[in-house]
Amino acid sequence: MLEKEDELLWTEGLDIVRRLEAGGYQAYLVGGCVRDRLLGRAIHDIDIATSATPDEVTGLFARTLPTGIKHGTVTVLEGGRSYEVTTFRQEFGYSDSRRPDEVAFVLDVSEDLARRDFTFNAMAIGSDGEVVDPFGGQDALRAGVVACVGEASERFSEDALRMIRAIRFAAEFDFDLLPDVWQAIVAHRSKLKHVAIERISSEWDKMMAGSGPEQACHYLFKSGLLEHVIDPLPEAFKSAAERYRYNRLSWEWDRWGVAYSDEGSMGNLSQLPSISDTDLRWAALLTGMALSEGDCLELCQKLRLSGRRSLRIAGIVGLNGQLDFTDEDSLWESWTLAVLARGRSIAEDWIGMSEGCENEAVPSFKIWLEEMPVTAIADLNVRGDELSRFLNRRPGPWVAEMLQSLLEGVAFGTLLNDKSSLLSEAAIQSTESREEER
């Protein structure tokens, strides 16, 4: 059942269509909103196509923004929401495999729909509720397939990002890529170098956040598309993805951690949907690919993820790399050191990722984290300036080193977290350090 917000968007969109019709123009709801309405999915925005020119649209509505006049688009502001209204158009020439060289306004909605990428995105609904579907979009929805409008090779030659979008739609809707679509992706994958990395990253991030990240990654790696991005991805990532193309490997969690079937095998992609947080999905994927923290950080930066997200994802992978799964004692010790090095937040993220990947040892990690008396220097009941005064030493690098040593002592239970005990231990360590320097 569609939510009230969806119904409100749809109703207001149709009101705009009726106002355009009342002005003597043709108008339809088009594209993704029609597709999602027919699928019973949530609608996030409404696009409208019309025979009215941008100037004519502007003349009909009180509040508009000229967001894409060159391509016939005006944003209409109604009820605190925005609706993109675009003049029916045809597009000609895609010399850069990204955008049309020329746009011409037309008067027929079918001509406008013919320029679109996939058949289920090339449908329109008018104020009478009738579906305009000249290319079989409803058939594609019923069959559960991704089909291009016309020749797939032509559509991907026009805009190479459509190859990535085809994969995203297939994964999100659990649809199949028709053979001609897949063959065209493989044949034209080198054209992806014409697409800005930000556009590719945005699509891939949507896949990781969507309902079928495992299928999306399968298609991305198997197709070899990522080998052709304009800004080459890290070699370690490309090597892992390349191995996946020819041998779909996986790992499974053993009692205490990850057991790799061989060096750098792929993670078990089927577990990704069990993780709700998109960043944790990224971390699980890259952990399964056996990437280092540095490689993960480089990949995230190449994909233009925010600094906060990049550090979070790489930090989770890095924490995993610090763990020693030899036995329970080694794991507890390495876990404690990893938490001290990376903080409680990253440790909790790692636990969240591990729960989604069905790690049987998660309860142990949770208990260990809960039982840690301190996880950061700020938790200590002594400050750096207090150490300096008590030991009568000038501040310097030794302060940070001393605080770290005290932190580890408290975390491992060999030292109480009270000021007297901490200062006494600091005095002992300071004396020993000066004796070693003599």
Of 123, 124, 116, 169, whose CA–CA distance to 146 is shortest? 169
pLDDT interval class at 95 (50, 70, 90): low
What mean pLDDT is predicted for residues 196-221? 95
Asked if residue 150 and residue 121 are part of one domain, the reply reads: no
Q: Note whether residue 39 is domain-resident.
A: yes
Predicted confidence (pLDDT) at residue 37 exceeds the cutoff of 70: yes
Asked if residue 306 and residue 293 are part of one domain, the reply reads: yes
Distance CA 140, CA 181 (A): 13
What mean pLDDT is predicted for residues 316-339? 95
Asked if residue 3 and residue 136 are part of one domain, the reply reads: yes
DSSP type of residue 283: H
Predicted confidence (pLDDT) at residue 285 exceeds the cutoff of 80: yes
Mean pLDDT (the chain, rounded): 90
Q: Note whether residue 238 is domain-resident.
A: no
CATH number at residue 425: 1.10.246
User: Of the candidates 323, 340, 369, which is a domain's last residue?
Assistant: 369
Q: Note whether residue 134 is domain-resident.
A: yes
**pLDDT at position 265, please?**
42
pTM of the shown model? 0.89
Q: Note whether residue 19 is domain-resident.
A: yes
What is the domain extent for residue 155? 144-232
Written as six digits, the tokens of 356 are: 């989604």
What mean pLDDT is predicted for residues 161-171? 97
**90-94, 189-193, 252-256: least confidently modelled range:** 252-256
Please provide the size of the chain in residues.
438
Of 220, 207, 199, whose CA–CA distance to 304 is shortest? 199
For the stretch 193-208, pLDDT in tens is: 999 999 999 999 999 9
Asked if residue 159 and residue 135 are part of one domain, the reply reads: no
Q: Note whether residue 57 is domain-resident.
A: yes
**pLDDT at position 263, please?**
41
User: Of the candidates 123, 140, 157, which is a domain's last residue?
Assistant: 140
Asked if residue 351 and residue 280 are part of one domain, the reply reads: yes
Percent of the chain beyond pLDDT 90? 78
Q: Note whether residue 136 is domain-resident.
A: yes
CATH number at residue 86: 3.30.460.10
Asked if residue 389 and residue 330 are part of one domain, the reply reads: no
pLDDT interval class at 117 (50, 70, 90): very high
DSSP reduced 3-state for 108: coil
Percent of the chain beyond pLDDT 70? 91
Residue with token string 């697409």: 195
Asked if residue 136 and residue 5 are part of one domain, the reply reads: yes
Asked if residue 178 and residue 45 are part of one domain, the reply reads: no
User: Of the candidates 140, 158, 177, which is a domain's last residue?
Assistant: 140
Asked if residue 89 and residue 6 are part of one domain, the reply reads: yes
Q: Note whether residue 239 is domain-resident.
A: no
Measure Cα distances from 15 to 12, 59, 174 in Å: 5, 16, 33
Asked if residue 148 and residue 131 are part of one domain, the reply reads: no
- How many independent structural domains does the chain possess? 4
Contact 293, 315 (CB under 8 A): yes
Q: Note whether residue 260 is domain-resident.
A: yes
Distance CA 178, CA 96 (A): 26
Asked if residue 148 and residue 132 are part of one domain, the reply reads: no
**pLDDT at position 438, please?**
52
**pLDDT at position 266, please?**
46
Asked if residue 346 and residue 218 are part of one domain, the reply reads: no
